[in-house]
Structure 1
Amino acid sequence: MNPQAPREPKYHTIAADLATKIRSGEYRPGQALPSQRELSAAYGVTMMTLRQALRVVEDDGLVSQQVGRGTFVTEPRAAYQLDSLRGLAEDLREQGHTVRTEVVGVRPGPAPTELGTDDALRIERVRLLGGRPAVHQVSWVREPYGSMVRAVDFTQVSLYAALSEHDVVVHRATERLRPAILDTAIGDLLRQPAGVPVFVSDRVTYGMDGEPVVVDRATILGDAMEVRAERAASGLSLRWTSNVGAGLTGAEDS
């Protein structure tokens, strides 16, 4: 006889149901959930079990519990993964976010020193999450790879998918993430005033031969995303630095 699988805790079931209702729009951003007393009665559980469920939903970033006021649905936030070799838009869509890309410009331009060459294709884009401009991204693609993807419609196709179509294989990346203040030029593109807090990600992606293929710089509105990283027993995926202004450095083990 096979042993019976352990039953899922009731609060997990309630948390999953609340999360589904929030993501489907039944409970909208800014809206207060029913009171804890109403919810505990509706789910037929004790107040303690209901509060465990609310803690799970809050830990997932879907609600905010405000003492004396109630529990409110938060504005949607995306997680910026430090452990992925995919493009930013691919990561966000994988998380279930609606992402639209506006292309600001695609042209040859001087390459950053990290690319190790003078010639590169410069691709400038704005990423919109749920219709809201949230990320400004510039990618410099090393030649001859830049010429391969110059005609791609980047509103529909990710840069890394386009490179893959030309049999360009990427195998590792290094990334540095730091806090910053939005400047006027990028602020105009993101429809935000200069001076608001942002994250700036500088990423270098390497090919199988160890040569850099793409350098990316993404400016991310501080209230649009949270940063997540995976830790493994066999290696370090997130490094904390103590230098003032240096922020966080994430690097994948090669």
Structure 2
Amino acid sequence: MLLDHGSTIPLYIQLKEHLRTQIETGVYPSGARLPSERDLAQAFQVSRMTARQALQLLAKDGFISSRVGKGTYVRRPKIAQDLYLLTSFTEDICQRGMVPGSRIIRAALDRADDEIAGHLQVAAGTEIILLSRVRLADNEPIAWEICHLNHRLCPGILERHDFSRESLYQVLREEYGCHLIWADQLISARIPDRRQRVALQLDDKTPVLSLTRVTYADHDQPVEFVRSVYRCDRYHLRTILRYTCD
């Protein structure tokens, strides 16, 4: 395929979009090696600088990564979460044909401090459940999650279940009749702390998505207060916006 040299769209943009389409349609699947700058320049009759710019844009958008001395390879696609749906991490990962899992950092009874008590609408000092996990997709670390639950709503849950492999939302629904209906979620970006960087296999300059969420059941009963950080290179958030006139 030749690019349109007469178009107002820069050649490097045309080449980038062509390669992106080939990646998304599976011509270059995850893990595949892309042609070199020289080969791209010859195939599309452009300069090596144009080919380099196209590859740089693809890398910036998270489609490819370079390995020193080995070439440029297609990265695994990001995991997308739709913001207009309330789903669990396990459901998100399974829907994408991947295997969910967790590495337990801590699972124990605790006492609610003022902040946690406020979110769960209980008195400070109330017994709660603390469940801290690194969330995995195909055994790759994706997120660090610290969850606080109102123990009164799910007594004995830690003794009867292994949340390194079970879905918390499924257990709440099927065993405790706790059907989660809606959530209030705040999203921001920040630099992870050292423990999170190590657990998520990140360098000290890579930001993360930081999510704080309170999840509610029937009658606006708060069930869960959770803080999570997600790898930006493996996870993104998607929503649909509609314009409304004033």
TM-score class, shorter-chain normalisation, is 0.5 to 0.7
Which amino acid in 2 is paired with 1:188? Answer: V
- The TM-score normalised by the length of structure 2 is 0.66
Is 1:19 the equivalent of 2:25? yes
Gap change, CA 1:71 and 1:104, over 3 Å in 2: closer
Counterpart pick for 1:125 among 120, 133, 141? 133
TM-fit CA distance, 1:211: 1.5
Which structure: greater helix fraction?
Answer: 2
Is 1:91 the equivalent of 2:92? yes
| Alignment map for 1:155-166 (pairs within 5 Å) | 155-166=164-175
Gap change, CA 1:18 and 1:233, over 3 Å in 2: closer
TM-fit CA distance, 1:19: 2.8
Q: Distance in 1 between matches of 2:141 and 2:188?
A: 20
Which amino acid in 2 is paired with 1:210? Answer: D
Larger deviation: 201-210 or 221-230? 221-230
Q: Distance in 1 between matches of 2:23 and 2:201?
A: 35
Q: CA offsets, 1:113-139, max 9 Å, x none?
A: 311223211111111234322210111
Gap change, CA 1:129 and 1:22, over 3 Å in 2: farther
Counterpart in the other structure of 2:47: none
Counterpart in the other structure of 2:194: 184
Is 1:115 the equivalent of 2:125? no
The question of whether the paired residues in 2 share the 8 Å contact of 1:139 and 1:215 is answered with yes
Gap change, CA 1:204 and 1:22, over 3 Å in 2: farther
Q: Distance in 2 between matches of 1:188 and 1:17?
A: 30
Unpaired stretches in structure 2, ≥5 consecutive residues: 1-20, 45-57, 66-70
Q: CA offsets, 1:210-238, max 9 Å, x none?
A: 1201111111122221221133579xxxx
Is 1:175 the equivalent of 2:185? yes
TM-fit CA distance, 1:202: 0.6
Counterpart pick for 1:32 among 13, 31, 34? 34
- The TM-score normalised by the length of structure 1 is 0.64
Which amino acid in 1 is paired with 2:135? Answer: R
Unpaired stretches in structure 1, ≥5 consecutive residues: 1-14, 41-57, 235-254
Q: Distance in 2 between matches of 1:102 and 1:227?
A: 23
Backbone CA RMSD of aligned residues: 3.5
Report the 3-state secondary structure (helix = DSSP H, G, I; strand = E; otherwise coil) of the residue aligned with 1:175: strand
Q: Distance in 2 between matches of 1:98 and 1:38?
A: 41
The question of whether the paired residues in 2 share the 8 Å contact of 1:120 and 1:146 is answered with no
Q: How many residues align?
A: 198
Gap change, CA 1:169 and 1:85, over 3 Å in 2: same
Counterpart in the other structure of 1:152: 161
Q: CA offsets, 1:18-63, max 9 Å, x none?
A: 634555x5xx25x1069789999xxxxxxxxxxxxxxxxx8xx784
Q: Distance in 2 between matches of 1:154 and 1:131?
A: 15
The question of whether the paired residues in 1 share the 8 Å contact of 2:23 and 2:74 is answered with no
Q: CA offsets, 1:57-97, max 9 Å, x none?
A: x8xx78469xxxx9952343211332222212211221233
TM-fit CA distance, 1:189: 2.4
The question of whether the paired residues in 2 share the 8 Å contact of 1:81 and 1:227 is answered with yes
TM-fit CA distance, 1:188: 2.9
The question of whether the paired residues in 2 share the 8 Å contact of 1:81 and 1:229 is answered with yes
